[in-house]
């Protein structure tokens, strides 16, 4: 489908890129090559999202729970794939006015990974095109606890009153810092869970599940998800 045919483009799309391991297994390849293929799929989706006018794309790259995976796989994701991605893609992303932001705790990541990430974030911080949020070492519950800590500190320091705390204020202290909540959340590979991803922000998101494994997810699949989204009627609790 071409770009003009899509109507009602969601402003904020979030992606749970699941199924890299199974994709590799089906081909008798190591899981790491599944992740590598996953990055190729992601490149196409980022480019396309920017072209069709999605404002914010948030992807789940690595969760706080993913540290429990085999050391070799964690090492490849954190020390190889991410670093290479940031290095190789930065120019193109910057040229396309994409603004990269990290959701999650990067302080504890290895120095080289951190350095590459900070460079990408700094280089693109004034760009006004697609906002590309990469959830990295991210956990939704941790995000909420972090927000509570920041807000509690402000109350204790007399910067705000307890009565000032409302949903709007709370949202500003999440990693998404008051970004519009995701309109559409897509999870691939047939699993139907949120898995601690954007659990505050997804309160009214439309959920879309694709049977495709992430490395097989193409722009046509995103079109299909967007068309399905456009057909749904969002009521936000009203009638």
Return the residues of window 177-216 that contact ligand FPP according to CB under 6 A.
214
Interaction of residue 98 with ligand FPP, rule CB under 6 A:
no
Scanning 16-24, 111-119, 137-145, 218-226 for contacts with ligand FPP by CB under 6 A, the matching segment is 16-24
Which residue is associated with the tokens 């990067």?
A: 106
Three-state DSSP class for residue 122: helix
Interaction of residue 104 with ligand FPP, rule CB under 6 A:
no
Please list the active-site residues: 18, 66
CB of 36 to ligand FPP, least distance (A): 8
Interaction of residue 109 with ligand FPP, rule CB under 6 A:
no
Both tokens of 68, joined, read 């429990």
Near ligand FPP by CB under 6 A: residue from 20, 58, 64, 124: 20
Scanning 34-42, 94-102, 139-147, 223-231 for contacts with ligand FPP by CB under 6 A, the matching segment is 34-42
For the chain, strand residue ranges (E) read 12-16, 56-63, 99-103, 131-138, 184-187, 206-209
Which residue is associated with the tokens 């006018």?
A: 53
User: How many other CB atoms are found less than 10 A from the CB of residue 129?
Assistant: 16
Total interface residues for ligand FPP by CB under 6 A: 17
User: Which candidate, 130, 119, 54, places its Cα nearest to that of 95?
Assistant: 130
Near ligand FPP by CB under 6 A: residue from 35, 99, 101, 131: 35
User: Which candidate, 142, 155, 56, 68, places its Cα nearest to that of 99?
Assistant: 56
User: Which candidate, 48, 90, 42, 45, places its Cα nearest to that of 62?
Assistant: 42
Return the residues of window 68-87 that contact ligand FPP according to CB under 6 A.
81-82, 85
CB of 197 to ligand FPP, least distance (A): 11
CB of 39 to ligand FPP, least distance (A): 5
Interaction of residue 57 with ligand FPP, rule CB under 6 A:
no
CB of 105 to ligand FPP, least distance (A): 16
User: How many other CB atoms are found less than 10 A from the CB of residue 38?
Assistant: 26
């Amino acid at each position: 489908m071409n770009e003009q045919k899509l109507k009602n483009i969601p402003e904020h799309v979030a992606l749970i890129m699941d199924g890299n391991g199974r994709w590799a297994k089906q081909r008798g390849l190591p899981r790491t090559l599944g992740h590598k293929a996953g990055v190729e799929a992601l490149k196409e989706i980022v480019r396309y999202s920017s072209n069709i006018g999605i404002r914010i794309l948030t992807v789940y790259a690595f969760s706080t729970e993913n540290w429990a995976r085999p050391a070799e796989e964690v090492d490849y994701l954190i020390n190889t794939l991410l670093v290479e991605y940031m290095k190789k893609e930065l120019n193109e992303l910057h040229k396309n006015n994409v603004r990269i932001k990290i959701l999650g705790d990067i302080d504890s990541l290895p120095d080289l990974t951190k350095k590459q990430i900070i460079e990408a974030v700094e280089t693109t911080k004034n760009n006004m095109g697609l906002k590309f949020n990469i959830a990295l070492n991210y956990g939704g519950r941790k995000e909420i606890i972090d927000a509570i800590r920041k807000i509690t500190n402000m109350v204790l320091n007399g910067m705000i009153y307890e009565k000032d705390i409302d949903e709007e204020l709370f949202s500003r202290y999440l990693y998404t810092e008051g970004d519009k909540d995701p309109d559409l959340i897509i999870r691939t590979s047939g699993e139907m869970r949120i898995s601690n991803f954007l659990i505050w922000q997804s309160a009214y998101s439309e959920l879309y599940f694709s049977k495709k494994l992430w490395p097989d997810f193409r722009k046509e699949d995103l079109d299909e998800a967007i068309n399905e989204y456009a057909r749904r009627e969002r009521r936000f609790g009203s009638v």
